[in-house]
Structure 1
Amino acid sequence: MPELLLALDAGTTGARAMLVDPAGLVVGLDKRPFETAYPAPGLVEQDGAAVWEVCRAVIAGALANAGRTMTDVAAIGVTTQRASVILWDRGTGEPVAPILIWSDLRGMEAYKALRAAGFISWPQVPSAKLPAAIAMAHRPVGDLCWGTLDSYLIHRLSGGTAHVTDASCAWMTGYFDYVGGDGWDGALIAHQNLPESLFPRLVESWGPIAMTDAATMGAAVPITALIADQQAGMVAHGALARGAWKATYGTSGVLMAGTGEAPLSPHSSMPAEALAFAGGRRRFCIEGMVITTGSLIEWLCGPLGLFASPAALEAAARSVPDTGGVVIRPSLQGMGAPHGRFAARGLIGGMSFATTPAHIARAALQAIAFRFRDIADLIAAVPGLAVPEALPVDGGLAESGTLLQLQADVLQRQVRRHAVREGTAYGAALAAGLGAGLIGESELPRFARYDAEFMPAIGRDEADAAYAKWSAAIGVEA
């Protein structure tokens, strides 16, 4: 009898597939990168057909690594990065324009126009970029489907039978009805002169969603979870209650906290979001994003060429006791919450002839930790939210013990690292278990295992002074 849970996790820079057994142990994993194009400053694109092939490859790889086949899979959960735009042909499933990645800023002027017209929008969201994607397609709009990446992948997995999304993904499109809270914003769709048939059907975050196409995937398997990546990370930590929080260090960094059954927005840069709508119950959350997190490390290692690998950067950062006066503003694609300075660019300052690459490495990790404090302080101050003292974390960059120690120092809080770094994929697998009735919500905490804890090694006064000095150096007030 099938017993494994399969997660397909398509992030910004690559995809991973994960197989989880009934005990919550990862028994198969495969991950591969996507190719990303930057045709001009602020523009970020990917090839949808290539992304689909990578996703198929990681599923096959995870199954092969576990010595299993699709017939061993009981349920599938899909999680993706949010707010990217993809258009495809309704009949063939083939993309008709490049994927416009969430961090693409070609929608800046459109977002301003939408705000002026009275609609809720942000620079990165699809409502500011979908018309541009349609113009690139050069096809009759009635022949097309659009969605965020989850919609496209489930369309392909199901052999073209499902065109769906959930609230956690739809919320980030700019098209969601934020007042009614249960569908698409018809006024905005009419304002942009778009047909409603272009839009995916809304489904619950976990439960019966679709079936894979046996001819495409090797077996007909229920898809029982569809949830945005950061929200999937909350499932991985069992953090569905009001006040529960977690941080993910990925390509971008996100600190997210649950706000219960009512939407809450504590700051203009941190609007209310859907955490999960499932079982007839609605849960909401807030998040703050550090747009340049793991991508800062990749840039230092790749285009800038200072380090051979992230592991080499980690070793260099660990080799020095401080940054030697170097400060970094990690904003290669703008500063996210709580600053909302999308035109701000990266900064490296405070260098002298005594500066070494090791100082720059440590300054990069310290800058990420400081940016998370920007957000953590704001969330912790929300009246009645009562976040826990410890901050649970996951993500690829959480492998850096130096970063997590700096984070504990800066926050003056314990930092707990999830034993499964790929928290978004793990959460998607668990959500599939919820949707298939194989896991109960009350069981989620037992799957949240931690392999390291970091306690502050400096005092509050020293931490506050360092944070204030960094904030002043990069041009913001602490």
Structure 2
Amino acid sequence: MRGNALAEKIIVIDEGTTSTRTMLFGADGIPLGSAQREIRQHYPGPGLVEHDAAEIWEATLACTREMITQAGGADHVAAIGITNQRETVVFWDRTTGEPLAPAIVWQDRRSAADCAALKEAGHERAVQAKSGLLLDPYFSGSKIGWALKNWPQLHEANDRLAVGTVESYLVFRLTGGVHVSDASNASRTQLMDINGAGGWDADLCALLGVPTPLLPEITGCTTRVGTTDPALFGGAIPICGMAGDQQAATIGQACLSPGQTKATFGTGAFILSASGTVRPVSNHRLLATVLVQEGDVRSYALEGSVFVAGSLIKWLRDGLGLLANAGESEGLARSVADNGGVYLVPALTGLGAPHWRPDALAAISGLSFATTKAHVARAALEAQAYQAQDLKSAFAADGVDWAELRIDGGMAANDWMVQDLADVLNLTVERPDFVESTALGAAMLAATGAGLYPDLASAAASMRGTATRFTPALEPEKRKTRLAGWQSALAKVLG
């Protein structure tokens, strides 16, 4: 480890879908503090999900100031790392930094018709070859194209318009004008050629209706991209660690070598398996993505994305009123011997990998007068393991079979769900004792960028903590019966 002992604390801005959080870490990876603010999600219509980017900025500023104060001031902070919800896009004014339109959230499906038309026209194979991604409204590019066609204020802004994912917007505001995006986030826009040293691709941008001058410069994930405006925090702090949340969690779990696999169960569920410097190719509707870029060297991952995980429990609580709080789901699941024949297919925003059906609708099957809310809660938790099993099969078909799985995210705190995951996958599941792997991964990137460690592998080896292991205990016949019930329920949704 190198550096000035006075300034060996790391600030991490963790910009999630439902909250903004800033965490303070020691250079050894030990968490020292956290500040958090909720972020409101706006649903202006079916399939539409938006954020107020001004609210994101104000919440980020407040949380970060709180942690810098706890650190002892800006002079005690070696670097800021940023990790963020990935495909969400922000539109802002280059001169003021103020948002010009709502941020379109990754869950938003408004560009579904545009993606379907491009797919029908036969463009998906070429798009996947360059971007590693399938044609789906999940990704940023079609969202940007839709906004440029439908929001007049963006055209009225002319040269003042800047576009980027959330980390790009935050860096712009923090530095007072630096317009960059790290390679991991850029690889989620569907506008980047992820092969070799590729950058924004003119053909992809033209296909999705996005002028390249609107886009940020693509940088490495441990690159020092600038320093904060001294007026914000009482001193200039380097920003030198950035990655999308799922890549950051993979790094935080020290899954850097080919075949190492992590799953994050947050708002959605995202499973990434590292593939080293060789870009993976999927024939089973998985995604190839940039895992991390150190300097000019890119490492990749194979990814499966499930759109609804923790948000399903939130819906049971807030939408249906079945739960008083999210933690109640574990006690309810334990209170019944089995699911009572109830299966819940959580296609509340369509189905992600490996199905990619944005038109799919959620369904609960197997209800009877004997069904209680405990059965429904258990079915919701079981759905996480079933969706993971569908992905495990797809990964294996692409030649990437999981030897074990490292998990994190808010849902990973639920012991019942983690054991069920091990049972259904018939696989050892490892959960770190510090489950905030996303923030920890961003801290590793920032510590590397700040020169506290010589490379990311060294940072990961030194900063990752201890973990608890869950081993499978479900009888093979019961596992087979449960999976058959899930496939039957899924078939009804897929039609």
TM range (shorter): over 0.9
Give yes or no for contact 1:247–1:255 (8 Å, CA) kept in 2: yes
Inter-partner Cα distance in structure 2 for 1:420 and 1:146:
34
Decide which of 12, 16, 19 is 1:11's aligned counterpart.
Answer: 16
- In the TM superposition, residue 271 of structure 1 has moved relative to its aligned partner by 2.3
Listed as ranges, the matches of 1:50-129 within 5 Å are 50-64=55-69, 66=70, 68-115=72-119, 116=121, 118=123, 120=127, 121-129=135-143
Q: Deviations over 1:283-304 (max 9, x none)?
A: 0111111111000000001111
- In the TM superposition, residue 454 of structure 1 has moved relative to its aligned partner by 1.2
Inter-partner Cα distance in structure 1 for 2:412 and 2:426:
18
Q: Partner of 2:404 in structure 1?
A: 390
TM-score of the superposed pair, with normalisation by structure 2:
0.91
Aligned AA for 1:71?
D
Give yes or no for contact 2:136–2:356 (8 Å, CA) kept in 1: no
Report whether the alignment pairs 1:46 with 2:46.
no
Give yes or no for contact 2:289–2:300 (8 Å, CA) kept in 1: yes
Q: Partner of 1:421 in structure 2?
A: 435
- In the TM superposition, residue 198 of structure 1 has moved relative to its aligned partner by 0.9
Inter-partner Cα distance in structure 2 for 1:410 and 1:373:
7
Q: Partner of 1:136 in structure 2?
A: 151
Aligned AA for 1:151?
S
Query: Cα 1:78–1:286, aligned 2, differ >3 Å: closer, same or farther?
Result: same
Give yes or no for contact 2:24–2:34 (8 Å, CA) kept in 1: yes
- In the TM superposition, residue 190 of structure 1 has moved relative to its aligned partner by 4.2
Inter-partner Cα distance in structure 2 for 1:386 and 1:39:
41
Q: CA RMSD in A?
A: 1.9
Q: Partner of 1:33 in structure 2?
A: 38
Q: Partner of 1:20 in structure 2?
A: 25
Decide which of 247, 257, 262 is 1:241's aligned counterpart.
Answer: 257
Aligned AA for 2:183?
A
Inter-partner Cα distance in structure 2 for 1:34 and 1:421:
21
Inter-partner Cα distance in structure 2 for 1:268 and 1:178:
19
Q: Partner of 1:279 in structure 2?
A: 295
Aligned AA for 1:157?
L
Report whether the alignment pairs 1:361 with 2:377.
yes
Q: Partner of 1:372 in structure 2?
A: 388
Listed as ranges, the matches of 1:329-368 within 5 Å are 329-368=345-384
Give yes or no for contact 2:90–2:99 (8 Å, CA) kept in 1: yes
Aligned residues with identical type, % of pairs: 38
Query: Cα 1:443–1:7, aligned 2, differ >3 Å: closer, same or farther?
Result: closer
- In the TM superposition, residue 63 of structure 1 has moved relative to its aligned partner by 3.9
Query: Cα 1:230–1:194, aligned 2, differ >3 Å: closer, same or farther?
Result: closer
Give yes or no for contact 1:16–1:425 (8 Å, CA) kept in 2: no
Tell me the matched-pair count: 473
Give yes or no for contact 2:284–2:394 (8 Å, CA) kept in 1: no
**After the TM superposition, which of the residue ranges 243-252 and 107-116 deviates more from structure 2?**
107-116
**After the TM superposition, which of the residue ranges 19-28 and 127-136 deviates more from structure 2?**
127-136
**After the TM superposition, which of the residue ranges 457-466 and 306-315 deviates more from structure 2?**
457-466
Aligned AA for 2:356?
G
Inter-partner Cα distance in structure 2 for 1:458 and 1:174:
40
TM-score of the superposed pair, with normalisation by structure 1:
0.94
- In the TM superposition, residue 52 of structure 1 has moved relative to its aligned partner by 0.8
Decide which of 144, 147, 150 is 2:164's aligned counterpart.
Answer: 147
- In the TM superposition, residue 381 of structure 1 has moved relative to its aligned partner by 4.2
Q: Partner of 2:344 in structure 1?
A: 328
Inter-partner Cα distance in structure 2 for 1:279 and 1:326:
50
Aligned AA for 1:238?
A
Q: Partner of 2:415 in structure 1?
A: 401
Query: Cα 1:146–1:192, aligned 2, differ >3 Å: closer, same or farther?
Result: same
- In the TM superposition, residue 460 of structure 1 has moved relative to its aligned partner by 3.0
Report whether the alignment pairs 1:464 with 2:480.
yes
Inter-partner Cα distance in structure 2 for 1:321 and 1:239:
36
Inter-partner Cα distance in structure 1 for 2:28 and 2:205:
45
Aligned AA for 1:326?
V
Query: Cα 1:379–1:373, aligned 2, differ >3 Å: closer, same or farther?
Result: same
Q: Partner of 2:132 in structure 1?
A: none
Where 2:451 maps in the other structure, the secondary structure is coil
**After the TM superposition, which of the residue ranges 309-318 and 175-184 deviates more from structure 2?**
175-184
Query: Cα 1:353–1:102, aligned 2, differ >3 Å: closer, same or farther?
Result: same
Query: Cα 1:132–1:241, aligned 2, differ >3 Å: closer, same or farther?
Result: same
Q: Partner of 1:251 in structure 2?
A: 267
- In the TM superposition, residue 231 of structure 1 has moved relative to its aligned partner by 0.4
Inter-partner Cα distance in structure 2 for 1:101 and 1:268:
26
